[in-house]
Amino acid sequence: MAETGSSVNNGVNVAALIAAREALTNAPSATQFKWRAACEWKDGTHSHSTVESYYGLDQEHHHKKTFTFDADHPEVFASEDKGATPVEYVLVGLASCLTAGIAAIAQYRNIQLRSVTATIEGDMDIQGILGMDDEVRNGFGGIKVTYKIDADAKREDIEALVAQSQKRSAVYDIVTNPTNVTVVVS
């Protein structure tokens, strides 16, 4: 359990997370969440997405404001580059998920973080998406994340934070394991 009176502050309320875990043990329905986004085509490859509501703890919730995301393809694909490409959003999702995990686990383990930066790179052979070669997948061939972390801890403890963050990360799970996807036209 988290030590009380800890002087470490990474801005993560670990006590609340631990309390939630205890409370949810006997409330199986409350743990069922639904995350949502809406997407609207603008023009060309440009689309505009919004994230506003989600469901969990047996009720509807709203973000403090509606978050918006423009996605497009870059000029090398003869597009207008009005936003990040969708695959870059995947990289953003993975890096931000792992980084949030690092902060939370560091708090739990009483490790004060001073700075955490990550660069993330996904390799892609576009023969897949262009339909040039059926043996090349559409998605990333591999993803590499590189962390630079300055913290009050030994190197092994920092490596353990990063490893544990992968173990508990939703987006890491989503990109490393298969997910059933159903797309319908209403």
Partner 1 sequence: MSHCLSGRSIDHVVLERGEVAHTWRTERWDSLRLLTPNWQSRVPGFGYNGNDPDGYRTLAEVIEFIASYAKVISAPVRTHTTVTSVRSTDAGYLVHTDQGDWLCRTIVLASGACNIADVPTFANRVPPSIMQLTAKEYRNPEQLADGGVLIVGASSSGTQIAHEIQRSGRPVTLSVGEHIRAPRVYRGKDLQWWMDAAGVLDERYDEIDDILRARRVPSLQLAGTPDRSTLDINTLTEIGVKLVGRLANISENGKAQFSGSLRNVCALSDLKMGRLLDRIDEWAQKNGLDDAAGPPYRLPPTRVEPAPPLGMDLTTGEVKAIIWATGFRPDYSWLEVPVLDRKGRLRHDGGVVSSPGMYLMGTQFMRRRKSALIDGAGDDARDVSAHLASYLGGHLARARALLED
Binding window for partner 1 (CB under 8 A); candidates: 5-13, 39-47, 50-58, 160-168 = 160-168
* CA pair distance 114, 152, nearest whole angstrom: 8
Residue 11 interacting with partner 1 (CB under 8 A): no
Strand partners, 129: none
For 90, which DSSP code? H
Binding window for partner 1 (CB under 8 A); candidates: 6-14, 61-69, 99-107, 156-164 = 156-164
* CA pair distance 98, 168, nearest whole angstrom: 9
Instruction: Report the residue from 9, 76, 156, 181 that binds partner 1 according to the rule CB under 8 A.
Output: 156
For 106, which DSSP code? H
* CA pair distance 52, 37, nearest whole angstrom: 7
Residue 22 interacting with partner 1 (CB under 8 A): no
Instruction: Report the residue from 9, 177, 182, 186 that binds partner 1 according to the rule CB under 8 A.
Output: 177
Q: Which helix (H) or strand (E) holds 168?
A: helix 155-168
Residues that bind partner 1 (CB under 8 A): 1, 28, 141-142, 156, 159-160, 163-164, 166-167, 172, 175-178
